[in-house]
Amino acid sequence: MARLYTIQPHGKNLHLQETFNTEECIRRYYALYCKQIVTSNQYGQTRSFYRLYARKPHNFGDCMKYDVHCPRCGARMYAIDRPLDEYTLALYACDNCYKEN
């Protein structure tokens, strides 16, 4: 099961905080949240990505104004994929954590 993260907004900076609530509960009480996606390659190396979700509809410009910070190291993550729809926003990855692997 994917880890879920609530978002503590500080202006345009979004800091992820791990939670053990259900996705339904998070969707009801938080305007934004993230879900971790873990992938592995044929060499057994894993990499985490974070998909941003919104309770209310966002357009492309709305979701790209955020600076999302890595829950592991705190560095600013970069959007590596565009939003899928108005509720399923950009996919983010942390270059800093990827270099450590």
Mean pLDDT over 47-72 rounds to 89
What letter does residue 65 receive in the DSSP assignment? T
Residue 72 in tokens: 């592991």
pLDDT in tens, 20-33: 888 898 888 888 99
Model confidence, pTM: 0.86
Helical spans, DSSP H, in 18-87: 23-29, 60-64
Q: Is the pLDDT of residue 1 over 50?
A: no
The pLDDT confidence band at residue 73, using thresholds 50, 70 and 90, is very high
Cα separation, 73 vs 43, in Å, equals 24
